[in-house]
Structure 1
């Protein structure tokens, strides 16, 4: 059967890329604050970076792109629990990679290990999101393209961690976020290219045949994209807007460094008295 990943033309890919870019930019700006912050403040910035990159740049990008995914004649439904779990996986795995890289001061080994862990998690989130999708035609994947998507995910994650630890300045952040958006969106569409669906009389016990519309029950239950994905994507997008405002109003990395220097100088002067 024909799989259409661009039902609405360039609208969903461009919107997915924009959200991936925006989430990456917010995540990189949050990570830049985490490099300077100490104590609980560092972990709050890292948590926001993980939510921005994992929740917006990866998860929202994936499911916005999935809004443009259709199979003619098949009703596609989504498992609410698996969909929410895929969001948690994306955020937690990015948090783990960031924490590992920051704790070990961005050493080559920590970046490679963090990239491998985070990239595997990103790919896992993608295929967990695919597992949440129910429809009567059977789904199977091209192993070579699945492996290719894993390689792209690990490369993208490693680059993201390196950017998070090294990129400074607004212009550099925008450029790095643009590259991350291309990598993450590219991984998604490579993974989607690996998907094939087969329609046979034995595919579904309800007797579904090619060309017949499929009921929600025949598709395996679940919720439609409009019912489930739209409110979730809107919710995360609103959260992203709030994070953007927080980053915009917070002191920059340079300002935080200056504040720390001023505090250290003040403490040194007091200790001399």
Structure 2
């Protein structure tokens, strides 16, 4: 049975209303809590909302230390104390790493990243130290995807960070790295540029080369958990196949994470 995970908040009544979407999303792979510094809910509040929305899993991926205002590396070192099940939701405690340079360096040590349940690597303009040219960014992503402890490339849709999507998609397929379709990027009025065009281009190529993706909300508040409204519009436009979406079940997602393929 498909889980209806696009939710609308009705201010007049103060309730949530579900709207149907075509692809089942069982796990939100990209969310943030108060610990990231610019999000608005606790870990328990996020887990409870995920349960209320009928999910089976929730990845909590706080911004890594180079993002202004986020938590210290000690936060990630201490994640072993966090229960991996809350309100019947399996928690994947992870990180959204900052890609720092063309070498693909990130802002936590490999030994620590390997201890986490999931790792996204994203280029954020305030953190990236090298040239934001198409050839340079493409090589940066290739270098990141060679790392077997990084599972997902986060929001590779920002026109401010240009990339050769054909190379990106082929290299993601070769390395087993998941590419993210980020709902927050596609939200009208967002700060990233040309995201719908870029997401559509990437998805067409992923469909052509059978490269796996995840649909992540990038929720910074509990009401946005599993909100894939804008992502789903692009997915539907492309006719993207459900079998190439990794987070349609918890088991499928886990099997697609590079860290688990080594087991």
In terms of fraction of residues, the more strand-rich structure is: 2
Larger radius of gyration: 1
In terms of fraction of residues, the more helix-rich structure is: 1
Query: Structures share a fold, TM > 0.5?
Result: no
If asked which structure has higher relative contact order (CA below 8 Å, sep 6+), I would say 1
TM-score of the superposed pair, with normalisation by structure 2: 0.24
TM-score of the superposed pair, with normalisation by structure 1: 0.23
